[in-house]
Amino acid sequence: MTPPNLGSAGRRPIPGKRSVATDALSLDRLIRDGPPDGDLVGGLEATRLKILDQGIKSDSDGMSPLRIYVWLILLNAPVLETDSYLALIHRGASPAYSKIRNDTFRTLATDPLFRRRVSEASLIRLLNAVAWKLNDAKEERAADKLASSTNSKVTNTANVHGSPELSTSSPAIKSRARALTLTTEGSDVATSEPGTYVQGMNVLAAPFLYAARSEAEAFVAFHRFITNECPGYVRGAMDGVHKGLALVDKVLAIVDPKLSLYLLSKGMNAELYAFPSVLTLCACTPPLPEVLRLWDFLFAYGAHLNILCIVAQLVILRNAILNSPSPTKILRSFPPIQAEMVKEVTLTLVKKIPDDVYSEIVSHAK
């Protein structure tokens, strides 16, 4: 577990001072045994640098016994007992179940690697469990707000059982809170409150299930990711995604004004071509093994860098876009991801971003 202040947010992926002791260890041994002398800061830095320099070893299908544990560490995910995950499963269909079922069957439908390893039933269980977890948090916030409002109007001496008046009224409070938070089909989209499921979460969850060695691991990593790294992406109004799209346009104008102006002259802003790439951290673009390698980099230095990775893909396509009278055809679906090339271009772009814009990138998904 890494202390919150040692997270990746705000870090630019620029190699810093290396720790001699940790640098001598392989990534596998560093994860298995922990950093020498309990040097957590040095161990985390070494892990990030090893991912940046060498990547996480995996086979041609992108499978690695180490990857999910690296992700869990970098995400600072809490330990979760499998029984806690099973308890969520045994609760049955969540309020978002019908929306989940409308999406899961088409998740990475054309990717044979994903379809062979991850069943639709597994994806449904994970998303339904996350929906229950988010729904519980939503109800708790509503109940707390209602209780706080009620409490401000009640003067009462509390005893070991709490306030008698509040205790007596708690079923009504809970009932009202539940009525406030249960959503009808599609209604999450119209609110800026944290929802329980939005379209696209199925694709965002897919790489976690593919990389994990159990559903419970995928669940805790995915839940930690969407609630800590990009809660703005899964709120009903998806305000974080729309901020991210505006930043794609802004960053492209900074690093390649000519390409930016050409796309704008064709009426093409990021909203038209980059929405899936922002929402899913490029998981919508095959091949999946390359997505996993890109995610290694994003989890090491911050998921916010996905904005720069999308711009990097545009820069890679620069000549084809500028030579095309209709770049819509090129950007209708991005060419297959080449993670190493995207990372290299991203590292060159990072140096060109002003501090104030970089701060916007870091915070846009919160």
The pLDDT, as a whole number, for residue 151 is: 66
Evaluate if residue 34 carries a pLDDT over 50: yes
The pLDDT, as a whole number, for residue 68 is: 96
Q: What is the CATH number of domain 238-363?
A: 1.10.472.80
Average pLDDT estimate for 331-337: 91
The pLDDT, as a whole number, for residue 193 is: 54
Structure confidence by residue, pLDDT tens digits, 102-154: 999 999 998 999 999 999 999 999 999 999 999 998 888 888 778 777 766 54
Structure confidence by residue, pLDDT tens digits, 289-331: 999 999 999 999 999 999 999 999 999 999 999 999 999 889 9
Evaluate if residue 168 carries a pLDDT over 60: no
Q: Report whether the peptide linkage leading into residue 194 is cis, meaning its omega lies within 30 degrees of zero.
A: no
**pLDDT band, residue 243 (cuts 50/70/90):** very high
Contacts of 128 (CB under 8 A, 6+ apart): 88, 89, 93, 94, 96, 97, 100
In this structure, which long-range contacts are made by residues 211-218, counting pairs with CB atoms below 8 Å and at least 24 apart in sequence?
211/62, 211/63, 211/64, 211/67, 211/68, 211/71, 211/292, 212/68, 213/65, 213/68, 214/82, 215/85, 215/122, 215/125, 215/126, 216/80, 216/82, 216/85, 217/68, 217/72, 218/68, 218/126
Residue type, 23: D
The pLDDT, as a whole number, for residue 166 is: 35
Question: Which of 5-19, 47-61, 79-93, 336-350 has the weakest average pLDDT?
Answer: 5-19
**pLDDT band, residue 24 (cuts 50/70/90):** low
Tokens of 150: 């009620």
Q: Is pTM, for the whole model, over 0.85?
A: no
Structure confidence by residue, pLDDT tens digits, 39-87: 888 889 999 999 999 999 999 999 999 999 999 999 999 988 899 999 9
The pLDDT, as a whole number, for residue 199 is: 87
The pLDDT, as a whole number, for residue 240 is: 95
- Per domain, the residue ranges of the chain are 4-54, 82-153+162-225, 238-363
The pLDDT, as a whole number, for residue 237 is: 86
Average pLDDT estimate for 7-20: 56
Alpha helix segments (H runs only) across 105-214: 112-117, 120-151, 164-181, 201-211
Average pLDDT estimate for 90-109: 94
Residue type, 286: P
The pLDDT, as a whole number, for residue 119 is: 96
Is-contact 296 56, C-beta < 8 A? yes
- The residue with greater pLDDT, 169 or 202, is 202
Evaluate if residue 282 carries a pLDDT over 70: yes
The pLDDT, as a whole number, for residue 158 is: 42
Question: Which of 91-100, 155-164, 336-345 has the weakest average pLDDT?
Answer: 155-164
**pLDDT band, residue 274 (cuts 50/70/90):** very high
Whole-number average pLDDT of the chain:
85
Question: Which of 8-12, 151-155, 178-182 has the weakest average pLDDT?
Answer: 178-182
